[in-house]
Amino acid sequence: RVRCGRSLDGYPFNPCLTEAQYKEMEEKVSSTLSGLAGELKGTFYPLTGMSKEVQQKLIDDHFLFKEGDRFLQAANACRFWPTGRGIFHNDAKTFLV
């Protein structure tokens, strides 16, 4: 398993993002990922509107941060939650963003 976290070029680090920037980034990332093919082809799931059952399954699988994580809150990384957040995974759940 390889995990990494990055900011996007042209955007500040998470604690400094505006709500509009979160939305812009979500659109850019989801549209880029929707163009993947082959074994990387998958689906983007925005957190906004995600059912609690799906959200809990992704948390239990360690694919998604738990809402209210004290470390994210201490870093001011929960602003405008869940706006602009989501998860992408391929069908096999071996490639996640």
Residues tagged in the binding site annotation for ATP: 62
Which residue ranges make up the annotated binding site?
62
Handedness of CA 74, 77, 80, 86 (dihedral sign): negative
CA–CA distance from 39 to each of 17, 36, 45, 89 (Å)?
32, 9, 18, 10
